[in-house]
Amino acid sequence: MLKGKHIILGVTGGIAAYKSAILTRLLVKAGAEVQVIMTPAAKQFVAPLTFSTLSGKPVISEFFTANTGQWNSHVDLGLWADAMIIAPATASTIGKMANGVADNMLVTTYLSAKAPVFVAPAMDLDMMAHPSTRRNLELLKSYGNHIIEPAEGELASHLVGKGRMEEPEKIVQVLSNFFVPKDLAGKKVIITAGPTYEKIDPVRFIGNYSTGKMGYALADEAARRGASVTVVSGPVAVKPQDSDIKIIPVQTARQMLEAAQTVFADTDIAIMCAAVADYAPDHYTDSKIKREKDEIPVIHLVKNPDIAATLGREKQPGQFLVGFALETDSEQSNAREKMHRKNLDMIVLNSLRDKGAGFGTDTNKVTIFTGEGMSVTYDLKSKPQVASDIFDSIVRCLK
Protein backbone atom coordinates (compact mmCIF):
# COMPACT_ATOMS: atom_id res chain seq x y z
CA MET A 1 0.00 0.00 0.00
CA LEU A 2 2.93 2.34 0.58
CA LYS A 3 4.63 1.64 -2.76
CA GLY A 4 5.44 4.94 -4.49
CA LYS A 5 3.79 7.00 -1.74
CA HIS A 6 5.47 10.29 -0.79
CA ILE A 7 5.86 10.41 2.98
CA ILE A 8 7.20 13.32 5.01
CA LEU A 9 8.69 12.05 8.26
CA GLY A 10 9.01 14.83 10.81
CA VAL A 11 11.48 14.02 13.59
CA THR A 12 11.49 16.13 16.75
CA GLY A 13 13.82 16.27 19.75
CA GLY A 14 13.10 13.22 21.87
CA ILE A 15 14.96 10.05 22.82
CA ALA A 16 12.55 8.07 20.61
CA ALA A 17 14.18 9.75 17.57
CA TYR A 18 16.38 6.65 17.31
CA LYS A 19 13.25 4.59 16.60
CA SER A 20 12.49 6.91 13.68
CA ALA A 21 15.66 5.71 11.96
CA ILE A 22 14.08 2.23 11.96
CA LEU A 23 10.78 3.76 10.83
CA THR A 24 12.58 5.39 7.87
CA ARG A 25 14.13 2.04 6.93
CA LEU A 26 10.76 0.25 7.11
CA LEU A 27 8.96 2.91 5.05
CA VAL A 28 11.66 2.78 2.36
CA LYS A 29 11.51 -1.05 2.40
CA ALA A 30 7.73 -0.82 1.89
CA GLY A 31 8.40 1.18 -1.30
CA ALA A 32 7.68 4.71 0.01
CA GLU A 33 9.71 7.81 -0.87
CA VAL A 34 10.63 9.41 2.44
CA GLN A 35 11.61 13.03 3.00
CA VAL A 36 12.85 13.58 6.54
CA ILE A 37 12.47 16.98 8.19
CA MET A 38 14.22 17.40 11.54
CA THR A 39 13.66 20.10 14.11
CA PRO A 40 16.88 21.73 15.42
CA ALA A 41 16.45 19.82 18.72
CA ALA A 42 16.10 16.46 16.93
CA LYS A 43 19.68 16.81 15.63
CA GLN A 44 20.91 16.63 19.24
CA PHE A 45 19.58 13.07 19.41
CA VAL A 46 20.36 11.49 15.99
CA ALA A 47 22.67 12.86 13.31
CA PRO A 48 20.97 13.95 10.05
CA LEU A 49 23.47 11.71 8.22
CA THR A 50 21.66 8.65 9.60
CA PHE A 51 18.33 9.77 8.13
CA SER A 52 19.74 11.02 4.82
CA THR A 53 21.52 7.68 4.33
CA LEU A 54 18.44 5.60 5.21
CA SER A 55 16.00 7.70 3.16
CA GLY A 56 18.38 8.36 0.24
CA LYS A 57 17.49 12.09 0.41
CA PRO A 58 19.18 15.04 2.13
CA VAL A 59 17.48 15.87 5.41
CA ILE A 60 15.74 19.25 5.56
CA SER A 61 15.96 21.18 8.76
CA GLU A 62 16.27 24.90 8.07
CA PHE A 63 14.33 27.33 5.87
CA PHE A 64 17.53 27.95 3.89
CA THR A 65 20.43 25.63 3.07
CA ALA A 66 23.33 27.30 4.89
CA ASN A 67 26.11 27.13 2.28
CA THR A 68 24.02 27.84 -0.87
CA GLY A 69 21.28 30.07 0.50
CA GLN A 70 18.75 27.89 -1.35
CA TRP A 71 15.20 28.25 0.03
CA ASN A 72 13.51 25.02 1.14
CA SER A 73 9.89 25.47 0.13
CA HIS A 74 7.55 24.19 2.86
CA VAL A 75 4.65 24.85 0.46
CA ASP A 76 6.05 22.57 -2.29
CA LEU A 77 6.87 19.91 0.31
CA GLY A 78 3.37 20.11 1.75
CA LEU A 79 1.91 19.57 -1.73
CA TRP A 80 4.39 16.75 -2.59
CA ALA A 81 3.34 14.60 0.37
CA ASP A 82 0.71 11.83 0.27
CA ALA A 83 1.01 11.65 4.06
CA MET A 84 2.97 13.29 6.83
CA ILE A 85 3.99 11.54 10.04
CA ILE A 86 5.52 13.32 13.03
CA ALA A 87 7.40 10.69 15.01
CA PRO A 88 8.44 11.24 17.69
CA ALA A 89 6.19 14.21 18.40
CA THR A 90 7.31 16.00 21.57
CA ALA A 91 4.95 17.97 23.81
CA SER A 92 6.55 21.15 22.47
CA THR A 93 5.95 20.32 18.78
CA ILE A 94 2.41 19.11 19.53
CA GLY A 95 1.76 22.44 21.26
CA LYS A 96 3.18 24.37 18.29
CA MET A 97 1.12 22.35 15.79
CA ALA A 98 -2.05 22.82 17.83
CA ASN A 99 -1.55 26.58 18.06
CA GLY A 100 0.05 27.39 14.71
CA VAL A 101 3.46 28.43 16.10
CA ALA A 102 5.40 28.22 12.82
CA ASP A 103 8.92 28.84 14.09
CA ASN A 104 10.66 25.91 12.37
CA MET A 105 10.63 24.09 9.04
CA LEU A 106 8.65 21.13 10.39
CA VAL A 107 5.69 23.07 11.81
CA THR A 108 5.65 25.37 8.76
CA THR A 109 5.44 22.34 6.45
CA TYR A 110 2.70 20.85 8.65
CA LEU A 111 0.66 24.03 8.30
CA SER A 112 1.08 23.91 4.50
CA ALA A 113 0.34 20.17 4.14
CA LYS A 114 -2.79 19.13 2.26
CA ALA A 115 -2.20 15.40 2.94
CA PRO A 116 -3.36 13.47 6.03
CA VAL A 117 -1.13 14.00 9.05
CA PHE A 118 -0.28 11.34 11.64
CA VAL A 119 1.19 12.21 15.02
CA ALA A 120 3.05 9.69 17.20
CA PRO A 121 3.66 11.37 20.58
CA ALA A 122 6.58 10.36 22.78
CA MET A 123 7.27 11.89 26.17
CA ASP A 124 7.41 11.21 29.87
CA LEU A 125 4.21 9.93 31.49
CA ASP A 126 3.48 13.10 33.47
CA MET A 127 3.99 15.31 30.41
CA MET A 128 1.71 12.99 28.46
CA ALA A 129 -0.98 13.18 31.15
CA HIS A 130 -0.71 16.97 31.58
CA PRO A 131 -3.97 18.77 30.72
CA SER A 132 -2.19 21.03 28.22
CA THR A 133 -0.81 18.03 26.29
CA ARG A 134 -4.22 16.29 26.35
CA ARG A 135 -5.90 19.51 25.21
CA ASN A 136 -3.38 20.05 22.40
CA LEU A 137 -3.83 16.45 21.20
CA GLU A 138 -7.62 16.91 21.26
CA LEU A 139 -7.14 20.10 19.22
CA LEU A 140 -4.99 18.22 16.68
CA LYS A 141 -7.66 15.51 16.43
CA SER A 142 -10.35 18.14 15.91
CA TYR A 143 -8.31 19.49 12.93
CA GLY A 144 -8.55 15.99 11.37
CA ASN A 145 -5.07 14.75 12.30
CA HIS A 146 -4.61 11.10 13.28
CA ILE A 147 -3.05 10.47 16.68
CA ILE A 148 -1.10 7.23 17.07
CA GLU A 149 -1.40 6.92 20.83
CA PRO A 150 1.82 6.05 22.69
CA ALA A 151 2.16 2.69 24.35
CA GLU A 152 2.72 1.97 28.04
CA GLY A 153 6.12 0.76 29.22
CA GLU A 154 9.46 1.84 30.63
CA LEU A 155 10.31 5.39 29.58
CA ALA A 156 13.64 7.18 29.12
CA SER A 157 13.27 8.47 32.71
CA HIS A 158 13.03 4.81 33.82
CA LEU A 159 9.53 5.57 35.10
CA VAL A 160 6.86 3.20 33.80
CA GLY A 161 3.71 4.53 32.19
CA LYS A 162 2.11 5.83 28.99
CA GLY A 163 4.43 7.81 26.75
CA ARG A 164 6.56 5.37 24.71
CA MET A 165 6.37 6.15 21.01
CA GLU A 166 4.47 3.37 19.23
CA GLU A 167 6.79 0.82 17.63
CA PRO A 168 7.90 1.61 14.04
CA GLU A 169 6.26 -1.61 12.70
CA LYS A 170 2.90 -0.52 14.15
CA ILE A 171 3.28 2.99 12.69
CA VAL A 172 3.96 1.52 9.23
CA GLN A 173 0.89 -0.69 9.68
CA VAL A 174 -1.29 2.34 10.56
CA LEU A 175 -0.01 4.25 7.52
CA SER A 176 -0.48 1.37 5.09
CA ASN A 177 -3.97 0.62 6.48
CA PHE A 178 -4.84 4.23 5.76
CA PHE A 179 -4.12 3.76 2.05
CA VAL A 180 -6.19 0.56 1.69
CA PRO A 181 -9.25 1.37 -0.49
CA LYS A 182 -12.28 1.57 1.79
CA ASP A 183 -14.46 -0.61 -0.46
CA LEU A 184 -16.34 -2.12 2.51
CA ALA A 185 -17.23 1.23 4.11
CA GLY A 186 -20.70 1.06 5.64
CA LYS A 187 -20.80 -2.77 5.49
CA LYS A 188 -21.33 -4.97 8.52
CA VAL A 189 -19.29 -8.16 8.54
CA ILE A 190 -19.53 -11.15 10.88
CA ILE A 191 -16.86 -13.84 10.99
CA THR A 192 -16.85 -17.11 12.94
CA ALA A 193 -13.30 -18.07 13.88
CA GLY A 194 -11.23 -20.62 15.77
CA PRO A 195 -12.25 -24.02 17.11
CA THR A 196 -15.16 -24.95 19.34
CA TYR A 197 -14.61 -26.80 22.61
CA GLU A 198 -17.31 -29.36 23.47
CA LYS A 199 -17.05 -30.06 27.18
CA ILE A 200 -16.77 -33.62 28.53
CA ASP A 201 -16.03 -32.83 32.19
CA PRO A 202 -14.45 -29.86 34.05
CA VAL A 203 -10.99 -30.65 32.62
CA ARG A 204 -11.63 -32.24 29.20
CA PHE A 205 -13.19 -31.28 25.92
CA ILE A 206 -13.50 -32.35 22.28
CA GLY A 207 -11.77 -29.76 20.10
CA ASN A 208 -9.52 -29.40 17.06
CA TYR A 209 -6.26 -27.79 15.99
CA SER A 210 -7.74 -24.53 14.63
CA THR A 211 -5.86 -21.44 15.91
CA GLY A 212 -8.17 -18.75 14.51
CA LYS A 213 -5.36 -17.15 12.44
CA MET A 214 -7.34 -17.22 9.16
CA GLY A 215 -10.55 -15.88 10.77
CA TYR A 216 -8.72 -13.04 12.52
CA ALA A 217 -6.79 -12.19 9.33
CA LEU A 218 -10.20 -11.85 7.60
CA ALA A 219 -11.46 -9.64 10.44
CA ASP A 220 -8.40 -7.37 10.21
CA GLU A 221 -8.72 -7.11 6.43
CA ALA A 222 -12.44 -6.25 6.60
CA ALA A 223 -11.73 -3.56 9.21
CA ARG A 224 -8.89 -2.15 7.05
CA ARG A 225 -11.35 -1.84 4.17
CA GLY A 226 -13.74 0.16 6.33
CA ALA A 227 -16.27 -2.48 7.48
CA SER A 228 -17.64 -2.72 10.98
CA VAL A 229 -16.60 -6.19 12.09
CA THR A 230 -17.81 -8.73 14.66
CA VAL A 231 -15.94 -11.97 15.30
CA VAL A 232 -17.74 -14.84 17.02
CA SER A 233 -14.66 -16.57 18.30
CA GLY A 234 -13.93 -19.94 19.79
CA PRO A 235 -11.05 -20.18 22.31
CA VAL A 236 -7.91 -18.78 20.60
CA ALA A 237 -4.68 -16.98 21.51
CA VAL A 238 -4.70 -14.55 18.54
CA LYS A 239 -5.97 -11.00 18.89
CA PRO A 240 -7.32 -8.55 16.31
CA GLN A 241 -5.03 -5.69 15.24
CA ASP A 242 -7.85 -3.18 15.24
CA SER A 243 -9.39 -2.40 18.63
CA ASP A 244 -12.70 -1.48 16.93
CA ILE A 245 -13.26 -5.14 15.97
CA LYS A 246 -15.91 -6.58 18.29
CA ILE A 247 -15.14 -10.04 19.66
CA ILE A 248 -17.89 -12.30 21.02
CA PRO A 249 -16.07 -15.14 22.82
CA VAL A 250 -17.79 -18.54 22.85
CA GLN A 251 -16.78 -22.11 23.62
CA THR A 252 -19.28 -24.53 22.14
CA ALA A 253 -20.91 -24.86 18.71
CA ARG A 254 -24.32 -24.12 20.24
CA GLN A 255 -23.04 -20.89 21.81
CA MET A 256 -21.41 -19.98 18.48
CA LEU A 257 -24.68 -20.56 16.63
CA GLU A 258 -26.66 -18.48 19.13
CA ALA A 259 -24.19 -15.55 18.95
CA ALA A 260 -23.97 -15.72 15.14
CA GLN A 261 -27.76 -15.83 14.73
CA THR A 262 -28.20 -12.77 16.96
CA VAL A 263 -25.83 -10.68 14.83
CA PHE A 264 -26.62 -12.17 11.41
CA ALA A 265 -29.96 -10.41 10.78
CA ASP A 266 -28.16 -7.05 10.74
CA THR A 267 -25.18 -8.24 8.67
CA ASP A 268 -24.18 -7.68 5.02
CA ILE A 269 -21.41 -10.27 4.77
CA ALA A 270 -21.00 -13.40 6.94
CA ILE A 271 -17.91 -15.61 6.72
CA MET A 272 -18.00 -19.00 8.39
CA CYS A 273 -14.33 -19.62 9.08
CA ALA A 274 -14.63 -21.51 12.38
CA ALA A 275 -13.69 -25.17 12.63
CA VAL A 276 -16.90 -26.20 14.36
CA ALA A 277 -16.91 -29.59 16.10
CA ASP A 278 -19.49 -31.72 14.30
CA TYR A 279 -20.33 -33.67 17.46
CA ALA A 280 -20.59 -32.94 21.19
CA PRO A 281 -20.85 -35.27 24.21
CA ASP A 282 -24.53 -35.94 24.93
CA HIS A 283 -24.04 -34.84 28.53
CA TYR A 284 -21.55 -32.94 30.66
CA THR A 285 -20.18 -34.67 33.76
CA ASP A 286 -19.99 -32.17 36.67
CA SER A 287 -17.04 -33.84 38.36
CA LYS A 288 -13.83 -35.07 36.81
CA ILE A 289 -14.10 -38.57 35.30
CA LYS A 290 -11.70 -40.68 37.37
CA ARG A 291 -9.28 -43.30 36.14
CA GLU A 292 -9.62 -45.76 39.06
CA LYS A 293 -12.77 -47.39 37.79
CA ASP A 294 -13.19 -50.89 36.42
CA GLU A 295 -15.03 -50.00 33.25
CA ILE A 296 -13.63 -47.69 30.56
CA PRO A 297 -15.95 -44.67 30.14
CA VAL A 298 -17.91 -44.40 26.91
CA ILE A 299 -18.72 -40.93 25.57
CA HIS A 300 -21.94 -40.79 23.58
CA LEU A 301 -22.02 -38.04 20.99
CA VAL A 302 -24.84 -35.95 19.58
CA LYS A 303 -24.75 -33.95 16.36
CA ASN A 304 -23.97 -30.23 16.67
CA PRO A 305 -25.99 -27.68 14.73
CA ASP A 306 -24.55 -26.62 11.37
CA ILE A 307 -24.07 -22.87 11.78
CA ALA A 308 -23.35 -22.14 8.11
CA ALA A 309 -26.38 -24.14 6.93
CA THR A 310 -28.64 -22.48 9.55
CA LEU A 311 -27.58 -19.00 8.42
CA GLY A 312 -27.95 -20.20 4.80
CA ARG A 313 -31.63 -20.93 5.54
CA GLU A 314 -32.12 -17.57 7.30
CA LYS A 315 -30.32 -15.58 4.59
CA GLN A 316 -32.26 -12.64 3.10
CA PRO A 317 -31.75 -11.07 -0.35
CA GLY A 318 -28.71 -8.77 -0.24
CA GLN A 319 -26.87 -10.81 2.38
CA PHE A 320 -23.67 -12.57 1.27
CA LEU A 321 -22.68 -15.83 3.00
CA VAL A 322 -19.22 -17.39 2.67
CA GLY A 323 -18.09 -20.79 3.94
CA PHE A 324 -14.82 -22.67 4.10
CA ALA A 325 -14.24 -26.30 3.16
CA LEU A 326 -11.31 -28.19 4.61
CA GLU A 327 -10.96 -31.37 2.58
CA THR A 328 -8.60 -34.28 2.15
CA ASP A 329 -10.24 -36.07 -0.84
CA SER A 330 -12.42 -35.18 -3.85
CA GLU A 331 -11.77 -31.60 -2.78
CA GLN A 332 -13.40 -29.69 -5.66
CA SER A 333 -16.62 -31.72 -5.81
CA ASN A 334 -16.98 -31.79 -2.00
CA ALA A 335 -16.52 -28.01 -1.85
CA ARG A 336 -19.13 -27.35 -4.57
CA GLU A 337 -21.55 -29.78 -2.92
CA LYS A 338 -21.12 -28.01 0.48
CA MET A 339 -21.68 -24.61 -1.12
CA HIS A 340 -25.04 -25.71 -2.56
CA ARG A 341 -26.15 -27.76 0.46
CA LYS A 342 -25.51 -24.84 2.86
CA ASN A 343 -26.90 -22.17 0.47
CA LEU A 344 -23.58 -20.26 0.42
CA ASP A 345 -22.69 -17.56 -2.11
CA MET A 346 -19.00 -18.49 -2.02
CA ILE A 347 -16.85 -21.27 -0.62
CA VAL A 348 -13.12 -21.17 0.07
CA LEU A 349 -11.48 -24.56 -0.30
CA ASN A 350 -8.27 -25.49 1.45
CA SER A 351 -6.90 -28.95 0.95
CA LEU A 352 -4.95 -30.65 3.70
CA ARG A 353 -2.94 -32.24 0.90
CA ASP A 354 -1.36 -28.84 0.12
CA LYS A 355 1.77 -28.14 2.17
CA GLY A 356 1.44 -24.92 4.18
CA ALA A 357 -2.40 -24.91 4.10
CA GLY A 358 -4.89 -25.46 6.91
CA PHE A 359 -4.68 -25.32 10.72
CA GLY A 360 -2.06 -23.39 12.66
CA THR A 361 0.14 -22.36 9.71
CA ASP A 362 0.88 -18.73 8.83
CA THR A 363 0.11 -19.50 5.19
CA ASN A 364 -2.77 -20.92 3.22
CA LYS A 365 -3.48 -22.11 -0.30
CA VAL A 366 -7.05 -21.72 -1.43
CA THR A 367 -9.43 -22.13 -4.32
CA ILE A 368 -12.41 -19.77 -4.26
CA PHE A 369 -15.71 -20.98 -5.75
CA THR A 370 -18.51 -18.52 -6.40
CA GLY A 371 -22.19 -19.14 -7.06
CA GLU A 372 -21.83 -18.59 -10.79
CA GLY A 373 -19.80 -21.80 -11.07
CA MET A 374 -16.54 -19.91 -11.30
CA SER A 375 -13.43 -20.95 -9.41
CA VAL A 376 -9.99 -19.39 -9.02
CA THR A 377 -6.99 -21.21 -7.53
CA TYR A 378 -4.40 -19.06 -5.77
CA ASP A 379 -0.74 -19.69 -4.89
CA LEU A 380 0.45 -20.38 -1.36
CA LYS A 381 0.28 -17.00 0.43
CA SER A 382 0.33 -15.55 3.94
CA LYS A 383 -3.06 -15.65 5.66
CA PRO A 384 -3.42 -11.82 5.53
CA GLN A 385 -2.80 -11.97 1.75
CA VAL A 386 -5.36 -14.79 1.41
CA ALA A 387 -7.82 -12.65 3.40
CA SER A 388 -7.24 -9.83 0.92
CA ASP A 389 -7.88 -12.18 -2.06
CA ILE A 390 -11.10 -13.40 -0.42
CA PHE A 391 -12.41 -9.87 0.10
CA ASP A 392 -11.38 -8.88 -3.46
CA SER A 393 -13.60 -11.76 -4.68
CA ILE A 394 -16.46 -10.80 -2.36
CA VAL A 395 -16.33 -7.17 -3.50
CA ARG A 396 -16.32 -8.32 -7.17
CA CYS A 397 -19.40 -10.52 -6.52
CA LEU A 398 -21.23 -7.72 -4.70
CA LYS A 399 -20.70 -5.47 -7.73
Q: Which of 306, 314, 354, 392 binds ligand CTP (CB under 6 A)?
A: 306
Contacts of 390 (CB under 8 A, 6+ apart): 218, 221, 271, 322, 348, 366, 368
Q: Which residues contact 116 (CB under 8 A, 6 or more apart)?
A: 83, 84, 144, 145, 146, 178
Q: Which of 218, 222, 276, 368 binds ligand CTP (CB under 6 A)?
A: 276
The residue range among 172-180, 222-230, 268-276, 289-297 that interacts with ligand CTP, by the rule CB under 6 A, is 268-276
Confirm or reject binding of residue 304 to ligand CTP (CB under 6 A).
Answer: yes
> How far, in Å, are 86, 203, 351 from residue 323 at the CA level?
42, 31, 14
With contact defined as beta carbons under 8 Å apart, do 356 and 365 qualify? Answer: yes
Catalytic residue among 72, 177, 208, 343: 208
Segment lying near ligand CTP (by CB under 6 A), choices 7-15, 67-75, 305-313, 379-387: 305-313
Cα(383)–Cα(369) distance, integer angstroms: 18
Of 184 and 274, CB closest to ligand CTP: 274
Rounded Cα–Cα distance for residues 320 and 272 (Å):
11
Active site residue 304: no
To the nearest 10 degrees (0 to 180), the angle between helices 307-314 and 253-264 is 20
Q: Minimum distance between the CB of residue 325 and ligand CTP, rounded to whole angstroms?
A: 4
Which of the ranges 31-39, 212-220, 223-231, 273-281 carries the binding residues for ligand CTP, by CB under 6 A? 273-281
Q: Which is nearer to ligand CTP, 86 or 307 (CB)?
A: 307
* Residue type at position 10: G
Distance of CA 384 to the CA centre of its chain: 9
Q: How many amino acids of this chain bind ligand CTP (CB under 6 A)? A: 15
* 253 near ligand CTP (CB under 6 A): yes
Is residue 213 a contact point for ligand CTP (CB under 6 A)? no
Residues belonging to the active site: 208
The footprint of ligand CTP (CB under 6 A) covers 192, 253, 272, 274, 276, 278, 304, 306-308, 323-326, 338
